[in-house]
Amino acid sequence: MRSKLDALLPIGMKYRRAVSLVVAAVLLLLGSAGCAPKPLPELGSSAEQLYARRCGGCHRPYLPSTMTSAMWAEQVAAMQLKMAQAGVAPLSNSERREILDYLQRNAGND
**If the chain, 110 residues long, is cut into consecutive pieces of 10 residues, what is the mean pLDDT of each piece?**
60 61 56 70 98 95 97 96 94 98 94
- Secondary-structure percent of the chain, ordered helix, strand, coil, rounded to 5: 65, 0, 35
Q: What is the pLDDT of residue 55?
A: 95
Q: What is the pLDDT of residue 9?
A: 55
Q: What is the pLDDT of residue 110?
A: 73
Q: What is the pLDDT of residue 96?
A: 97
Q: What is the pLDDT of residue 89?
A: 94
The Cα angle at residue 71 between residues 69 and 77, in degrees rounded to 5: 105
